[in-house]
A and B are shown apart, each in its own frame.
Chain A
């Protein structure tokens, strides 16, 4: 899945996360995490994000996540939706998604 343009998903409500993705052609993955849980769970969130991007086949992207106590499943969902939007739709690779 190629990230063609900027896109976002999610909200800043409690228990949710706001995810923004941008093209980063040829430069690999760049990840920035903001939010109350990042000090304690930053590494776990980073692992979830990288695994999700891998399952989507995204290898070049700049990702910003503002989380508000979101569970892993919510982060995965918001990130997948943002990537889907940034890749201009089409069917998602559900079978490979975590």
Chain B
């Protein structure tokens, strides 16, 4: 498990950006072969991303590739290239149902066999961008043991819903809530959508706070300047960290004594509080997530 507070989109057809993507310290980089690449450059972007995966050192930053859907002429070759290149996770766009995940899983498994990678080593992320997808999100979230996260893609979703994005995001509230709930029930992560107005820092931070409050584990970002803002909002306060340390210490103490009851300052500590404390320490970088 790892933190995925920030997933930085990098257009697949931009050699310099592919090389430098990790220097801004996102939790994950996400090379894009889909919407940011024109149809006539799909092959060229695929080659650049293949080379980047194979030869660049991203200093441990997770490498995700957003492929084209399997309903396009590019999807299968995208999977072959990125699995051979050594990708950590494949992000599938426009997931409408569990059958989309199963089809990608089959293609990824075939690529793992073809290129001699261990079965199951390539993880999956499903982006949900339609009303149909949101209504199927419970089934999507449990469609494959390879799934590590589900994400919402807002621009296509609001278009599908015959609406548009607003500053308070009311049009996305139900979809976001359903997606987070499905992720929690499946034991995987939930990733929020991009915020496209790079210059509107206030609006961006408001949206990150909302996503965090709803339970999202992180956000897809389109500009390096957004990474530090996301991390700052997800960072626990000094008080939260201090309290979490005490909770964990009390839990360790109880375990050492063989006691099933954890007490702190004369109060009983429940298991969910210990779990929350662990998450606080993970976000503070003190323990593995």
State the A residues within 8 Å of B (CB): 9-10, 13-16, 70-74, 76-78, 80-81, 84-85, 89, 91-92, 94-95, 97-98
Tell me whether B44 and A94 are in contact (CB under 8 A): no
Given contacts A94-B115, A95-B115, contact A76 B44 (CB under 8 A): no
7 other contacts beyond A16-B16, A71-B15, A77-B51, with CB at 8 A cut-off?
A74-B15, A76-B51, A77-B50, A84-B47, A85-B43, A92-B81, A94-B85
Tell me whether A94 and B50 are in contact (CB under 8 A): yes
In the complex, the chain B residue whose C-beta lies closest to that of A72 is B55
Interface size class of B (residues with CB under 8 A): 20 to 34
In whole angstroms, how far apart are the Cα atoms of A78 and B48 in the complex?
7
The 8 Å CB contact of B16, one of A14, A77, A85, is A14
* A98 neighbours in B (Cβ, 8 Å): 54
* B85 neighbours in A (Cβ, 8 Å): 94
In whole angstroms, how far apart are the Cα atoms of A78 and B47 in the complex?
7
In whole angstroms, how far apart are the Cα atoms of A76 and B16 in the complex?
14
Min CB distance, B57 to chain A, in Å?
11
In whole angstroms, how far apart are the Cα atoms of A13 and B48 in the complex?
15
Q: List 13 A-B contacts (CB under 8 A).
A: A16-B16, A72-B55, A73-B51, A73-B55, A76-B51, A77-B47, A77-B50, A81-B43, A81-B46, A91-B77, A92-B77, A94-B115, A95-B114
In whole angstroms, how far apart are the Cα atoms of A70 and B1 in the complex?
36
Tell me whether B44 and A71 are in contact (CB under 8 A): no
* B15 neighbours in A (Cβ, 8 Å): 15-16, 70-71, 74, 77
In whole angstroms, how far apart are the Cα atoms of A76 and B54 in the complex?
11
In the complex, the chain A residue whose C-beta lies closest to that of B73 is A89
* B81 neighbours in A (Cβ, 8 Å): 92, 94
Tell me whether A94 and B84 are in contact (CB under 8 A): yes
List the 3 closest pairs (A to B, CB-CB), nearest first: A73-B51, A77-B47, A94-B84
* B52 neighbours in A (Cβ, 8 Å): 73
Tell me whether B77 and A74 are in contact (CB under 8 A): no
Contact flags B61-79 to A (C-beta < 8 A → 1, else 0): 0000000000000000100
Tell me whether B44 and A73 are in contact (CB under 8 A): no
In whole angstroms, how far apart are the Cα atoms of A76 and B43 in the complex?
13
Whether B80 sits at the interface, judged by CB under 8 Å, is yes
Tell me whether A97 and B55 are in contact (CB under 8 A): no
Whether B212 sits at the interface, judged by CB under 8 Å, is no
Most chain A beta carbons < 10 A, residue from B15, B44, B48, B52:
B15
In whole angstroms, how far apart are the Cα atoms of A97 and B48 in the complex?
13
Min CB distance, A16 to chain B, in Å?
5
